[in-house]
């Protein structure tokens, strides 16, 4: 899902997500083929993330272009665990995103960086449902942005079903936010492999995106 939770990779272990993404708007389609997301457990409550995609852009009536996306490096720190006497976990996940030395900015695949995101995540349980959300501030070239979202999920043995509302928009004009709903699933295939699926679109009529999709495999070891 787009909205993050507070979970961290166990100390000394790896979590590698290899996903294929698509975002369709009124002016074209953007693919991540693939989006590589590598995470490593630095401690009991801390993990390191490095994320980078290969992007393919098809604008309406123009030839397709492709290239390396931005590199995103972040560190999650869960400073409060979910316990019986205070059933709310909290974490922060500062992340720095920067352009690689390629022609992707000139091709229109990515915005000119750098960017810095400082989000706060929370997570709890309500009956049989898990609930998590995040809110954060993105410093960037041009207007700074606010991100926000909430996810509700429920586990059924090897399958977890999830629903999400996520938004992001300029700090000074939040009414122009891009707000999407997203439905997803996590299917445990083996002890070390999980299938990840999601699909959604804008909740606002005549706003992008018209469709977003994700399909990937998570490997844990």
pLDDT tens readout for residues 52-108: 999 999 999 899 999 999 999 999 999 999 987 889 999 999 999 999 999 999 999
φ, ψ at 173 (rounded to 5°) = -140, 65
Q: Is-above-0.85 flag for pTM?
A: yes
Please, are residues 177 and 168 in contact by the beta-carbon 8 Å criterion?
A: yes
* Residue range 192-220: mean pLDDT, rounded: 96
pLDDT reported for residue 176: 84
Cα–Cα distance measured from residue 110 to residue 153, given in angstroms and rounded to the nearest whole number? 32
Do you know the residue count of the chain? 221
178-189 confidence digits (pLDDT tens): 999 999 999 999
The residue that leads in pLDDT, 61 or 19, is 19
Residue 107: DSSP 8-state: H
Contacts of 114 (CB under 8 A, 6+ apart): 96, 97, 98, 99, 140
Q: Phi and psi for 205 in degrees, rounded to 5?
A: -65, 140
Q: Mind listing the pLDDT tens digit for each residue in 122-165?
A: 999 999 999 999 999 999 998 999 999 999 999 998 999 999 99
Residue 60 in tokens: 């309406």
């Amino acid at each position: 899902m787009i909205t993050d939770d507070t979970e961290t990779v166990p100390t000394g272990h790896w979590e590698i997500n290899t996903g294929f993404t698509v975002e369709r708007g009124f002016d074209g389609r953007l693919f991540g083929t693939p989006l590589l997301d590598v995470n490593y457990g630095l401690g009991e409550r801390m993990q390191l993330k490095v994320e980078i995609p290969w992007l393919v852009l098809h604008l309406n009536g123009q030839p397709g272009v492709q290239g390396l996306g931005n590199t995103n490096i972040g560190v999650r720190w869960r400073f409060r665990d979910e316990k019986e006497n205070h059933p709310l976990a909290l974490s922060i996940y500062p992340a720095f995103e920067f352009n690689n030395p390629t022609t992707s900015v000139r091709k229109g695949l990515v915005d000119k960086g750098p960017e810095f995101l400082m989000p706060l995540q929370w997570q709890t349980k309500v009956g049989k449902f898990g609930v998590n959300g995040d809110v954060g501030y993105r410093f960037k070239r041009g207007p700074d942005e606010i991100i926000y979202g909430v996810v509700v999920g429920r586990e059924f043995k090897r399958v977890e079903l999830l629903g999400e509302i996520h938004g992001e928009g300029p700090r000074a004009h939040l009414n122009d936010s891009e707000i999407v709903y997203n439905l997803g699933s996590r299917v445990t295939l083996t002890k070390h492999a999980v299938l990840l699926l999601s699909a959604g679109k804008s909740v606002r009529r005549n706003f992008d995106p018209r469709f977003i999709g994700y399909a990937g495999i998570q490997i844990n070891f």
